[in-house]
Amino acid sequence: MARLDGKVALITGIGGGMGREAARRFAAEGAEVVGCDLFEDGLNETVRIVREAGGEITGHAPVNLADATEAERWVDEAAAVYGGFDILYNNASTQRFGAIDEISVEDWNFTIDNELNLVFYTVRAAWKHLRARGGGSIVNIGSIAGTRGVEFMPQNAHGSAKAGVINLTQQLAVEGAPHRIRAVSVSPGFIVTPATRFLVKDPPPAFRKNIERIPLGRVGQPEDIVNAALFFASDEASWITGVNLVVDGGGTVLG
């Protein structure tokens, strides 16, 4: 039996990067996947890859999850297609960067909308469906940016939003437990995806130093994160809730 047999999984931001890998892997492990993305081309490519491999997937795009109404519509439609769902995997995010005295209020709010509020919107919409199902699991993607500062990137809004995601997850674990809803966050270190490839190609010196110090000796790949998310979403993690798992090759334990 595959690890997600019989489960329906909603995954956000499947158009590329870790979301694409999550859709591919969750389907390969037996889940029926319902994905969404802002962009149709990337989403269609993911749907093609999953189906060609024999997986079951439905995709919706364009869906802007930073809009509460669109987020709720996607969740409700997904629930209607499969008669409910078991897993909500909040992967999607977009962020804008700027030094604290330069970032505009608009860019700050955009980042909070597209990294934190979108998680609130999908969870809020999913809650009644998960309760009706008798429980389920929520996997939120945080970041090591949510627990510390860095020199190579003015990540004030991004870090604040991800700290919010990590803390929201803890609260969801408490509010969800009576309904058998588990909630965990996975916080990646540096992972090579379309969003970060530019940094690998031309690393600023402070960033290069960070990468070279990773104890396990390499940067992360999307599957490093999806491996953890898959475990948490499966029944193997049925007594785990509220944790934030850092997956970063050991980088953040260095002083």
* Residues 187, 244 contacting (CB under 8 angstroms): yes
Q: Is 55 in the site for ligand NAD (CB under 6 A)?
A: no
| CB neighbour list of residue 210: distance below 8 Å, 6 or more residues apart | 150, 152, 190, 251
Residue from the set 4, 11, 47, 65 that interacts with ligand NAD by CB under 6 A: 65
Q: Which is nearer to ligand NAD, 198 or 239 (CB)?
A: 198
Tell me how far apart the alpha carbons of residues 114 and 7 are, in angstroms, rounded to a whole number.
27
Q: Which is nearer to ligand NAD, 63 or 87 (CB)?
A: 63
Q: Is 39 in the site for ligand NAD (CB under 6 A)?
A: yes
* Residues 253, 216 contacting (CB under 8 angstroms): no
Residue in this structure with the two tokens 């916080």, named with its chain if needed: 187
Nearest distance, CB of residue 220 and ligand NAD, angstroms: 7
Furthest-apart CA atoms within the chain: distance in Å: 54
Instruction: Supply 11's token pair.
Output: 């995954």
* Residues 9, 32 contacting (CB under 8 angstroms): yes
Nearest distance, CB of residue 92 and ligand NAD, angstroms: 4
Residue from the set 50, 173, 191, 230 that interacts with ligand NAD by CB under 6 A: 191
Residue from the set 143, 169, 234, 241 that interacts with ligand NAD by CB under 6 A: 143
Q: Which residues lie near ligand NAD (CB under 6 A)?
A: 12-13, 15-19, 36-39, 42, 63-66, 91-94, 114, 118, 141, 143, 188, 190-191, 193-196
